[in-house]
Amino acid sequence: MTLSLFDQFLSPVVCWIPLVAIAIILPWILFPSPTTRWLNNRSLTSQNWFLSQATSQIFLPINPPGHKWALLLSSLLIFLTTMNTAGLLPYTFTPTSQLSINMGLAGALWMGVVILGMRTQPTHSLGHLLPEGAPALLTPILVIIETISLFIRPIALGVRLTANLTAGHLLIQLTSTATLAMLTIMPVTAIFTGILLFLLALLEAAVALIQAYVFVLLLSLYLQENV
């Protein structure tokens, strides 16, 4: 019983062919590139409008040299939003519930941002490791704490997304199992559990969108410090 709860997080394989690649490529077919026509169709226009709004909001506080990262961060936003929401469908696999995928994204992008800061403005990047106006006696301990917090960032970024999605999917599975199990034995309790399941599903839909946004927002904040 306990083992089957985590079966949904196993990377799907059919005839030794890993299906995770198909799951990751999914956003590519859902977001077609703009055509050469003067006016695109409604779905493409609305997709592009949402994306341009989200990108302009994310890049408002960032200096112009950091706007080169717009394509990378907006495609990351699309990727994570699609992965998270598609994973809410029954019997689907959520790639972003895997720590490997999230740590690969978080670690690589965080390191890119830090290296960019160290290369283009090393004084500012190093200076940010000591809070302004700190007392002289606390300087060594504050520098150590800030350095540790700098290196904790990619771990927190990856684990936050993984933990939120894994916990949500587990809760949905537990609640749905309980609802089905109690349907014949205690129907009234099963109805209340069913209502809870519905509310939980709404919550998970919100969490899927919010966590994708938070991931990209935090990366944009790290970029803001380093550009």
Partner 1 sequence: RMAGHDAGNQHQFTGLAKHFNSYTIVGRRNCVLATYASLAAIFLFFKLKPKKKPAVTEK
Measured distance CA(159)–CA(154) in Å, rounded: 8
- R_g over Cα of the chain: 22
Query: Is the CB of 90 or the CB of 133 nearer to partner 1?
Result: 133
Measured distance CA(205)–CA(227) in Å, rounded: 33
- 13 DSSP β-pair partners: 18
Which one of the spans 8-16, 53-61, 121-129, 162-170 is the region binding partner 1 (CB under 8 A)?
121-129
Which one of the spans 21-29, 43-51, 129-137, 208-216 is the region binding partner 1 (CB under 8 A)?
129-137
- Which of 48, 103, 128, 176 binds partner 1 (CB under 8 A)? It is 128
- Which of 139, 187, 195, 202 binds partner 1 (CB under 8 A)? It is 139
| Burial tier of 217 (Cβ tally within 10 Å: 0-12, 13-18, 19+) | middle
**Run of H or E residues at 199:** helix 187-226
- Which of 20, 72, 99, 129 binds partner 1 (CB under 8 A)? It is 129
Maximum Cα interatomic distance, the chain, rounded to a whole number of Å = 69
The answer for 42, left when phi > 0, alpha when psi is -120 to 50, beta otherwise, is alpha
Is residue 143 near partner 1 by the rule CB under 8 A?
Answer: yes
Is residue 130 near partner 1 by the rule CB under 8 A?
Answer: yes
Residue 57 CB, shortest distance to partner 1, in Å, is 23
Q: Which residue has the tokens 């006696």?
A: 137
Is residue 124 near partner 1 by the rule CB under 8 A?
Answer: yes
Which one of the spans 28-36, 89-97, 131-139, 171-179 is the region binding partner 1 (CB under 8 A)?
131-139
- 14 DSSP β-pair partners: 17
Is residue 123 near partner 1 by the rule CB under 8 A?
Answer: yes
Residues near partner 1, by CB under 8 A: 122-124, 126-136, 139-140, 143-144
